[in-house]
């Protein structure tokens, strides 16, 4: 008795094992770069925010989209993937390396086409605290200003 290689809709599935093997191999190689740190996933709609420090941006080589890099309040490296409203907010905030930053996830929105998206607010300010991983200050302390 042969293996049934058609689906209920009559599609030929003879190559599906090869496709699964290819997909499994691709999934195994899609590790997040170690220097990005952990992914920020704890932002629930209107319930929580992220506080930390701005590290900069990178690019996800898989899709060419920006990835936003941070240090959390404990100095651990972390990142957020690109979301349209987050990208717009960061473009307006223009954070510098080491700035204190807050991300807040607002109410999800629905576009005219019926798609939904995350709404973000971003605020940042300079910080004179040492940059995590580097131990250098980002702005002079008040008593270091020469006037």
Q: How many domains does the chain have?
A: 1
Q: What is the CATH number of the domain that holds 82?
A: 2.40.50
| Span 95-127, pLDDT tens digits | 999 999 999 988 888 888 998 888 899 999 999
Identify whether 136 is part of a domain: no
Identify whether 121 is part of a domain: yes
Residue numbers of the domain that contains 110: 39-128
| Span 62-100, pLDDT tens digits | 889 999 999 999 999 999 999 999 999 999 999 999 999
Give the chain as a 3 state SS string: CCCCCECCCCCECCCHHHHHHHHHHHHHHCCCCHHHCEECCCCCCCCCEEEEEEEEEEECCCCCCEEEEEEECCCCEEEEECCHHHHHHHHHHCCCCCCEEEEEECCCEECCCCCEECCEEEEEECCCCECCCCCCECCCCHHHCCC
Identify whether 27 is part of a domain: no
Q: Is this model's pTM higher than 0.75 or not?
A: no
Q: Do 101 and 122 meet the contact criterion of CB atoms below 8 Å apart?
A: yes
Identify whether 16 is part of a domain: no
Task: Please give the Cα distance from 79 to 41 (Å, whole number).
Answer: 9
Identify whether 12 is part of a domain: no
Identify whether 108 is part of a domain: yes
């Amino acid at each position: 008795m042969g293996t049934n290689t058609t689906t209920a809709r009559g599609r030929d599935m003879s190559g599906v094992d090869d496709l699964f093997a290819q997909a499994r191999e691709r999934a195994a190689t899609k590790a997040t770069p170690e220097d990005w740190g952990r992914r920020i996933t704890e932002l629930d709609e209107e319930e929580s925010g992220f506080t930390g420090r701005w590290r900069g941006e990178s690019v996800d080589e898989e899709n060419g989209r920006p990835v936003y890099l941070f240090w959390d309040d404990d100095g651990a490296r972390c990142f957020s993937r690109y979301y349209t409203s987050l990208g717009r907010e960061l473009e307006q905030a223009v954070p510098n390396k080491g700035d204190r930053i807050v991300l807040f996830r607002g109410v999800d929105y629905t576009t005219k086409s019926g798609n939904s998206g995350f709404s973000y607010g971003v605020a940042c300010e300079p910080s004179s605290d040492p940059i995590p991983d580097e131990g250098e200050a980002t702005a002079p302390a008040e008593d270091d200003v020469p006037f």
